[in-house]
Amino acid sequence: MAEDLDIQLRYVGERFNGAKLPLDVLADLPAFRDLIVAFAKELWRIQNADRQRVPKGFDRSMSFDLTAIEDGSAIPRLTWDRVTAQARLPGFADELQSLVDEAFGQVVSLVDNAANDIFPKALTAEHVRALNRFGSSLRDDERIEFVGRQDKTGNVVYLDSARRKSLITKVRETYVSRFEGTGTLIGVFAPSDQFIGRVTVDTQAYGAIDIGVERERVIAEFDGNIGGQVQFELEVELDNADNYRSVVELHGLTLIDEQIAAELARCNARLQEITALGDGWDDENSRAISASAYQAAVAFLHKRPVMSSLYKIFPTSDGGVLFEFEKNGWDLSVEFSPGGGVEFFGIEVNGDGDFLPFHFDGVNAHFIEQFDKRVGRDGK
């Protein structure tokens, strides 16, 4: 049988000298337990992607006992109750213990990252509720140390009122993200008694999404074009798992004409063709195109579909994808590495000018901004 899993928190401050733990601070302990449980549930779902829910009894199996308050300020010692876990979920005790241990590590990382202004995009409602309660009684000169857990400099990781405030104010259940690309128009709705209508677009990233559009515009531009391709620029609300929630703001929505749609289809077909190549496609040591390079190439293609007619698309020997094209007197290249990174470079066609590769982590806003500055947003 595995050893009991103990977690120790050290409360540092004058109020805690002599192993004293004031009653108002005791509320921290169930909140801390709830935070660990929230992370443990998330880990379980990741490890069991084929199951929609955690097993019945999972929450109750995450039982902790306050087994001691040790000296050296007040150090509550929390012991995970293995017996209760075995009773609630027979045969799962070892797996649950591993989840609890890993979840505790994630709590520590969350607090440690907050000290360096690094925050998750969003957390679940369960995480946020527990964070709102954990450490709520701390005063400005007090902190909770995670005994035995050090940061990169070797100092013990701790939560104080400043870090707690940063977490609570920066972390939410959802976040807003820019979303642009192309999709297929699959529905229109223009009620006569409302100013705002709706178009429904099938997107590769989030499936069908509804976009509010003025009724007159729905009728004039989109009615009768079901099945047509559209380009959109939106701000969307996503949850902590990057699942789509809603459209926050519409920045642009236009039908793509048939010629551009045909060129976009040509480029998509070319990407499919070269992605089907296996290792050694050049009869030497070439590698098959990686999934990350393909996904980055597709994302780029659908952000600027109007440029599709210009692109010549090739595989690279290391497993990447290369777009070559001419624009405004320049011979330009966009290369997607096997890891999904991007390089953008070019030379003048009838001159000596060139610009060295710009490097980007992916098809992000910074890359698109630099691309538009150099190339523009149209295909003319």
Residue 345 tokens, joined: 């470079």
Task: Provide the pLDDT for residue 203.
Answer: 94
Which pLDDT band, with edges at 50, 70 and 90, does 15 fall under? Answer: confident
- The answer to whether 230 and 201 have CB atoms below 8 angstroms apart is yes
Which pLDDT band, with edges at 50, 70 and 90, does 380 fall under? Answer: low
Mean pLDDT for the chain? 88
Class of the domain covering 175-255? mainly beta
Task: Provide the pLDDT for residue 315.
Answer: 96
Residue labelled with tokens 């306050």:
66
CA angle at residue 308 from 306 to 312, to 5 degrees?
Answer: 155
Average pLDDT on 178-197 reads 92
Distance, in Å, from the CA atom of 291 to the CA atom of 297, rounded to the nearest integer, reads 10
Task: Tell me the pTM.
Answer: 0.60
Task: Provide the pLDDT for residue 169.
Answer: 81
Instruction: Identify any residues that bridge with 189 across adjacent strands, giving them in sequence order.
Output: 198
Cβ-count burial of 200 within 10 angstroms (0-12 exposed, 13-18 middle, 19+ buried)?
Answer: middle
Which pLDDT band, with edges at 50, 70 and 90, does 4 fall under? Answer: low
Distance, in Å, from the CA atom of 17 to the CA atom of 180, rounded to the nearest integer, reads 56
Q: Is the pLDDT of residue 345 over 70?
A: yes
Dump pLDDT digits (tens) for 218-265: 999 999 999 999 999 998 988 877 889 999 989 899 999 999 999 999
Distance, in Å, from the CA atom of 222 to the CA atom of 211, rounded to the nearest integer, reads 12
Domain boundaries, the chain: 6-172, 175-255, 258-375
Average pLDDT on 328-350 reads 93
Dump pLDDT digits (tens) for 150-172: 998 999 999 998 888 888 888 87
- E-strand stretches of 129-268: 143-150, 156-160, 174-189, 196-203, 207-214, 229-239, 244-255
Listed range (3-7, 193-197, 235-239) with the worst mean pLDDT: 3-7
**Cβ-based neighbours of 200, under 8 Å, separated by 6 or more:** 185, 186, 187, 188, 189, 208, 209, 210, 211
Instruction: Identify any residues that bridge with 70 across adjacent strands, giving them in sequence order.
Output: 75
Q: Could you give the percent of the chain with pLDDT greater than 70?
A: 98
